[in-house]
Structure 1
Amino acid sequence: MYPNDGFRELDRQECQRLLATTPVGRIVHTRHALPAVLPVNFCLDDGGGVLLRTSAASELARAVDGAVVAFEADEVDAAAHSGWSVVVTGRATVVTDPAEHARLCRVGPRSWAPSPEEVFVRIEPELVTGRELAGGRTMYGARLAS
């Protein structure tokens, strides 16, 4: 990041707080040796992990189990030229423990496209980064005018 570029780095705690305010993000994984990005609904686990719920037969569940993935969520206000973005990078695993699966059925994310057999995918956060832009266009215009 360059000084005075209008962005502010977010610490891990701020990133976690912001992630808890939005229900949809994007998971980035490898598909046929190429990057693939899918929108998903999610929630945060007690330990800060990202939880997804998907069909047990889905390509996503097979592709990400045991793989390092990135997960990104953001919020943008186009009119105010402001917003934030958080990226969580870590290993994704399909939850296989029956007791944990039962617990997540009660407290985990609800599937927006339910299927007969669903699994939970947990992304353990190894790297959490974020940045915020507050009034970017206004700030840029003010710099030009001064």
Structure 2
Amino acid sequence: MVIPQLPASGSSRRMVELSHEEALRLLGTVQLGRVAFSERALPAIRPVNHLVEGGDLIVRTHGGAALLGRALLSEVVAYEADEIDATTRTGWSVVVTGTATRVEDPDALARYHRLLMPWLDAESGQVIRIRPVIVTGYRVVGAERG
């Protein structure tokens, strides 16, 4: 096993807060994230793929997804995605907190089914829209970057 060499603890990296717009733009550059929701009164986190459209996050679940039944109730969820370089320990992370609802419009569903593939059971599953209420994001940069 190869263990990567990490920068010394006195590294000159720093965190820069992202604007709402920049955070959503960065989310749109990756396809994979993690949705956090409540399952049997406990926190649950699942990896899902997503797209950003009109300021909302769209995710497609597989047929047995625990989030499915909850999304009918406009459940509050969190969604996190990031891109971190393991060697330099720089990159970004964005967390969106908002309400999740099931997408039911037939035209929108057909479009999202073409654009997003769930992890399992490609023929089944639902499409969930997350409307952001809180968007936070940070970029970890070296001292020479802003």
Please indicate the TM-score interval, normalised by the length of the shorter structure: 0.7 to 0.9
Any stretches of 5+ residues in structure 2 without a counterpart?
1-11
Any stretches of 5+ residues in structure 1 without a counterpart?
140-146
Q: Give the structure 2 partner of residue 9 of structure 1.
A: 17
Q: Which of 114, 120, 132 matches 2:127?
A: 120
- For the aligned residue pairs, the C-alpha RMSD in angstroms reads 1.9
SS at 1:21's partner residue? coil
Normalising by structure 2, we get a TM-score of 0.80
Q: Report the Cα distance in structure 2 between the residues aligned to 1:9 and 1:116, rounded to whole angstroms.
A: 39
Q: Cα–Cα, structure 1 residues 80 and 5, in superposed 2: closer, same or farther, change >3 Å?
A: closer
Identity of matched residues, %: 41
How far off its partner does 1:68 sit?
0.7
**Which moved further from structure 2: 22-31 or 110-119?**
110-119
Q: Which of 40, 45, 69 matches 1:37?
A: 45
1:36-93 superposed Cα distances (whole Å, 9 cap, x missing partner): 1111111112x12111111344322113331010000011112112121101111001
1:2-55 superposed Cα distances (whole Å, 9 cap, x missing partner): xx982110001110121111111000100111111111111112x121111113
Instruction: Give the structure with the larger helix fraction.
Output: 1
SS at 1:15's partner residue? helix
What is the 5 A alignment of 1:101-120? 101-106=109-114, 108-120=115-127
SS at 2:126's partner residue? strand
Contact 1:89–1:127 (Cα < 8 Å) also in 2: yes
Contact 1:29–1:64 (Cα < 8 Å) also in 2: no
Q: Report the Cα distance in structure 2 between the residues aligned to 1:98 and 1:33, rounded to whole angstroms.
A: 32
Count the aligned residue pairs.
131
Residue 138 of structure 2 is aligned to residue 131 of structure 1: yes
Q: Give the structure 1 partner of residue 82 of structure 2.
A: 74
| Aligned AA (2:111) | R
Normalising by structure 1, we get a TM-score of 0.80
Q: Give the structure 2 partner of residue 90 of structure 1.
A: 98
